[in-house]
Structure 1
Amino acid sequence: MKLSDNYLIIEQIGSGSFGDVYKGRDIKNNKDIAIKVENITKTKRIRHEYKVYKYLKENGVIEKVPKIVDYITTPKYNFMCMEMLGKSIDDIFNDLDRKFKIETVLKLGIDIVNIIKVIHKGGFIHRDIKPSNFMVGKEDSNKVYILDFGLAKKLYDNTGNHIRFREGRSMIGTVRYCSINMHLGLEPSMRDDLESVGYMLIYLAQGKLPWQGLKKTKDQSQVDCIGEVKMCTSLAKLCEGLPDCFKEYIIYTRKLKFDEQPDYEYLIKLFDKYLNLKDKENKYEWVDLEDNELKTTKNTIL
């Protein structure tokens, strides 16, 4: 199916709550691309995401995010054509029996904190940190990218001031990885992205989090149940069996003030110090695996 004179839509390769993603072809450049599609009568999340990518590019953020090839609108649909990446961290995690080696998680910690630093310095908070929103390169699977900026928000207003602190905010993002302050209804900021990264890394190292599988009760919603367990779980239990750097990471991110500039280098050094002690080569465990050693999964990149 032709999207325009420049692009072909080949097959669906993923889906999400806000639309679908297809494998496509850039006819002019003879390259595979990913095409995200949304029905404009339901949502305009891809339109927002395109504006975020455009703003980030204008502010010099080009290394850690997929390249946007084109944006096309029709009376019924919005299409965003973007660089084709490899598998998501979530897909690889499932392929490797839902637990990464500690060296892999430490390296992810270093790479992802660096990515978040770049996004924050580019003027945005992501607000939906989760394994499926990080992908590896198609040609270089040792390189990690962040994507899906449909829920991203500007950090600063038009006068350059930090967004205002507000209470009574609705939950946004993926509840499993949301910060405690987001459960309390506080406006998310840089600290919340980083706290979410911490929970995601612990999940990838442990294979689970203490608040997974909870259901709503007569008196509490599922979100409230998860929030209560998240607040009541000790760091000793949360980080059981893991190097101290994970506990120190969570302690630091939870102590950050709403508009405080995080010390990203401190967080990177927490992981880097332990990784150096392990004296392992600087590549992910999946890099040398053949394609047939990884299960076949469809990426969900929306």
Structure 2
Amino acid sequence: MADRSEDNPEGFKVGNKFIVTTYIAKGSFGKIYRGKNIKTNEEVAIKLEPQDVDQPQLVLEFAFYRKLKAEGTAPQRGIPTIFTFGPCGTYHALVMDLFGPSIENVHKECGLKFSLKTTIYLVNQMLELFEYFHGKGLLYRDTKPDNFLFGRSGTKNYMVVHITDLGLCKEYLDDEGKHIPIVRGKGVIGTVRYMSLNNHRGIEQSRRDDMEALGYMWVFLLKGELPWMGIQEKNRVEKYRMIGEKKKKTSPEVLCADLPQEFCKYLKEVRELDFDAEPKYKEYLKMFSRLFKKSGLTNDKVYDFDQNHKQLTK
């Protein structure tokens, strides 16, 4: 039973093991709190969503995490552990690993530009995560720096990237393992800055759209900007249309100007994928690993920030 105001869930229990302590942030669906295991004092993250919302998302997110962590599945670095899901006062609660700051926050700490070395390290982790994700029959559909969290500050895993916020995920395989059909006239889903051209066009998303969104995010991490940022328009639908037009007119060559050609090659290829095509994850991993060596970078585990996710003095 809840001991406090329903508007302030701090102090609420989730099951007989976990308690909500302090507010962290608002997520795409619901709010995120810091919590702890009452028996071990281990800190956790607790995601809360009111039980009476019109379109509940947290139960779906829990189901997707279970699918990713299905019994007999080899563990994949970067997939959060879910401890429990259940009621918490008038909320549904998802209890999971507690992580450090998002890529977005650390990117800002570093002046909105990551070095090539740090970016390639992130690129390789994300390619592995999306290969695993897609291998489980899931599409992510909401790529943005805010949804990828580093390990906790001051730990050996501070550079490990974790994929979170699965509220917009979707299965792309049916019960018989067949790919979903292509559908046109869909509404856009995801974060407009990074969404694919076909998403803008109202075409059903598939693996290619996740991959294209990754490419845009990587360019942003390196440059700190994208050509369609800053478009001013009060009407949301019109603004999305204008951003889509700017993306369409911006070739990979122009978008990736002053960057290693591998980023242009990647974007050109994923933009041209057929709807049901499997992306070449391992080939891209090899390509960016070769770029790391070709660029004379040293794999010394020294990045743009320290173990506390603070920018290193250059």
Fold shared, TM-score > 0.5 on shorter chain: yes
Higher mean Cα deviation, 66-75 or 11-20?
Answer: 66-75
Instruction: Please give the TM-score of this superposition, normalised by the length of structure 2.
Output: 0.88
In 1, Cα distance between the equivalents of 2:231 and 2:297?
38
In 2, Cα distance between the equivalents of 1:37 and 1:221?
33
**2:230 aligned partner, one-letter code:** G
**2:35 aligned partner, one-letter code:** G
Q: 1:80 — aligned with what? A: 94
Contact 2:12 2:19 in 1 (8 A): yes
Q: 2:299 — aligned with what? A: 281
In 2, Cα distance between the equivalents of 1:290 and 1:170?
40
Matched, 1:90 2:108: no
SS in 1 for 2:13: coil
Match 1:115 to one of 104, 129, 148 = 129
Query: Is the alpha carbon distance of 1:291 and 1:88 closer, same or farther for their aligned partners in structure 2, counting shifts above 3 Å?
Result: closer
In 2, Cα distance between the equivalents of 1:182 and 1:53?
24
Superposed counterparts of 1:21-100, under 5 Å: 21-42=32-53, 43-58=55-70, 60=73, 62-63=75-76, 64-73=78-87, 76-100=90-114
Match 1:187 to one of 196, 204, 208 = 204
Contact 1:89 1:134 in 2 (8 A): yes
Matched, 1:260 2:270: no
Q: 1:300 — aligned with what? A: none
Contact 1:26 1:33 in 2 (8 A): yes
Q: CA RMSD in A?
A: 2.0
Contact 2:110 2:305 in 1 (8 A): no
Please list every run of 5 or more consecutive structure 1 residues that lacks an aligned counterpart in the other structure: 295-302
Q: 2:268 — aligned with what? A: 251
Q: CA deviation at 1:276?
A: 1.1
Q: CA deviation at 1:289?
A: 5.0
SS in 2 for 1:127: coil
Give % identity: 33
Superposed counterparts of 1:148-159, under 5 Å: 148-159=165-176
- C-alpha distance after superposition, 1:66-93 (max 9, x if no partner): 1001101257311000011111111110
**2:209 aligned partner, one-letter code:** D
Contact 1:249 1:270 in 2 (8 A): no
Superposed counterparts of 1:143-222, under 5 Å: 143-216=160-233, 221-222=238-239
Q: 1:18 — aligned with what? A: 29
Query: Is the alpha carbon distance of 1:193 and 1:220 closer, same or farther for their aligned partners in structure 2, counting shifts above 3 Å?
Result: closer
Q: Which structure would you say has the larger RCO, counting Cα contacts within 8 Å and 6 or more residues apart?
A: 1
In 2, Cα distance between the equivalents of 1:287 and 1:97?
11
User: How many pairs does the alignment contain?
Assistant: 294
Contact 1:53 1:68 in 2 (8 A): yes
Q: CA deviation at 1:123?
A: 1.3
SS in 1 for 2:167: coil
Query: Is the alpha carbon distance of 1:219 and 1:51 closer, same or farther for their aligned partners in structure 2, counting shifts above 3 Å?
Result: closer
In 1, Cα distance between the equivalents of 2:108 and 2:236?
34
Please list every run of 5 or more consecutive structure 2 residues that lacks an aligned counterpart in the other structure: 1-10
Matched, 1:241 2:258: yes
Contact 2:102 2:148 in 1 (8 A): yes
Instruction: Please give the TM-score of this superposition, normalised by the length of structure 1.
Output: 0.92
In 2, Cα distance between the equivalents of 1:204 and 1:54?
30
Match 2:138 to one of 118, 124, 127 = 124
Query: Is the alpha carbon distance of 1:284 and 1:16 closer, same or farther for their aligned partners in structure 2, counting shifts above 3 Å?
Result: farther
